[in-house]
Structure 1
Amino acid sequence: MDISVVIPLLNEDESLQELYDWIAKVMQSNRYLYEVIFIDDGSTDNSWKVIEELSEHNSEVKGIRFQKNYGKSQALDAGFELAQGRVVITMDADLQDNPEEIPDLYSLIVDEGFDLISGWKKKRYDNVVTKNIPSKLFNAAARKTSGLKLHDFNCGLKAYKNEVIKTVKVSGEMHRYIPVLAKNEGFHKIGEKVVQHQARKYGETKFGIDRFINGFLDLITISFLTKFGKRPMHFFGLWGTLMFIFGTTSAFYIGAYKLYNVYKGIKTILVTDNPWFYIALTSMILGTLLFLSGFIGELIIKSKSDEKHYSIREKLNF
Structure 2
Amino acid sequence: MSKPLLSVVITVYNEEDNIQPLLEATYLALEEIDYEVILIEDGSTDRTVDEVKKYANSRTKLIIFNRNFGQTTALAAGIDMAKGEYIATMDGDLQNDPTDIPVMLQKAIDEEWDVVAGRRANRKDGFVLRKIPSKIANWVIRNTTKVYLKDYGCTLRVYKAGIAQGMGLYGELHRFIPVLAKQQGAKMTEMDVKHHPRIHGESKYGLSRTFKVMSDLILMLFFQKYFQRPIHLFGGIGIISFLIGFLISIYLLVLKIMGEDIWGRPIMILGFILVLGGIQFITTGIIAEIIVRTYFESQDKTTYTIKSVYQGVLNPVIRVQ
- Secondary structure, counterpart of 1:151 in structure 2: coil
Range 201-210 or range 105-114, more displaced: 201-210
Partner secondary structure for residue 170 of structure 2: coil
- Local SS of the residue matching 1:117: strand
Q: Which amino acid is the alignment partner of residue 233 of structure 1?
A: I
Alignment of 1:145-224 (within 5 A): 145-187=144-186, 189-224=187-222
- Aligned pair count? 306
Partner in structure 1 of residue 61 of structure 2: 62
Aligned-partner residue type, residue 33 of structure 1: D
In structure 1, give the amino acid aligned to 2:19.
L
Match of 1:233 in 2: 231
Aligned residues of 1:233 and 1:291 also touching (Cα < 8 A): no
> Match of 1:24?
27
Does residue 5 (structure 1) correspond to residue 8 (structure 2)? The answer is yes
Aligned mate of 1:311, from 302, 305, 320:
305
* 2:317 aligned partner: none
Secondary structure of 1:64's partner? strand
Pick the aligned partner of 2:263 from 259, 272, 279: 272
| Identity within the alignment, % | 34
State the one-letter code of the partner of 1:70.
F
Q: Which has the higher contact order (CA 8 A, sep 6+)?
A: 2
After superposition, where does 1:31-46 map in structure 2 within 5 Å?
32-46=33-47
Alignment gaps of 5+ in structure 1? 262-266
With over 3 angstroms needed to count, the CA separation of the structure-2 counterparts of 1:154 and 1:293, relative to structure 1, is: closer
Q: In structure 2, what residue type is equivalent to 1:241?
A: I
1:52: Cα distance to partner?
Answer: 2.5
User: Could you say what secondary structure the match of 1:167 adopts?
Assistant: coil
Give the Å deviation of 1:121. Answer: 1.0
CA gap 1:286/1:309 in 2 versus in 1, 3 angstroms: same
Match for 1:150: what amino acid?
L
Amino acid at match of 1:244: F
**Bigger Rg, which one:** 1
Closer/same/farther in 2, CA of residues 298 and 309 from structure 1, 3 Å limit: closer
Structure 2 counterpart of 1:264? none
Deviation at 1:161, TM superposition (A): 0.8
Contact 2:219 2:286 in 1 (8 A): no
What is the RMSD of the two structures over their aligned residues, measured on CA atoms? 3.2
| Structure 1 residues 8 and 248, CA gap change in structure 2 (3 angstroms) | same
Secondary structure of 2:73 counterpart? helix
Deviations 1:100-131 (A, max 9, x none): 11111111111111111111112122222222
Distance 1:206 1:186, change over 3 A: same
TM-superposed deviation, 1:279: 8.1
Residue 284 of structure 1 and its aligned partner are, at CA, apart by 9.8
The one-letter amino acid of 2:13's match is: L
Between the aligned partners of 1:16 and 1:201, the Cα distance in structure 2 is 12
Q: Per-residue deviation at 1:217?
A: 3.5
What's the CA shift for 1:215?
2.6
Query: In 2 relative to 1, CA 209–26 (structure 1 residues): closer, same or farther, beyond 3 Å?
Result: same
CA displacement 1:290-310 (0-9 Å, x = unmatched): 998699679848954424322
d(CA) in 1 for partners of 2:20, 2:198: 15
1:317, CA displacement in angstroms?
3.4
Deviation at 1:254?
5.0
The aligned counterpart of 1:132 is 131
Contact 2:255/2:262 (<8 A) preserved = no
Structure 1 runs of 4+ off > 4 angstroms? 252-258, 273-299
Please give the alpha-carbon distance, in whole angstroms, between the structure 2 residues aligned to 1:159 and 1:291.
34
**Equivalent residue letter for 2:242:** F
For 1:113, the equivalent position in structure 2 comes to 112
CA contact under 8 A between 2:296 and 2:303: conserved in structure 1?
no
| Rounded Cα–Cα distance in structure 2 between residues aligned with 1:226 and 1:297 | 17
Cα separation, 2, equivalents of 1:241 and 1:182:
33
192-201 or 143-152: which moved more?
A: 143-152
Structure 2: distance between partners of 1:227 and 1:286: 23
For structure 2, the 5+ residue unaligned runs are 313-321
The residue that corresponds to 1:104 in the other structure is: 103
Say if 1:2 and 1:33, in contact at 8 Å, map to a contact too: yes
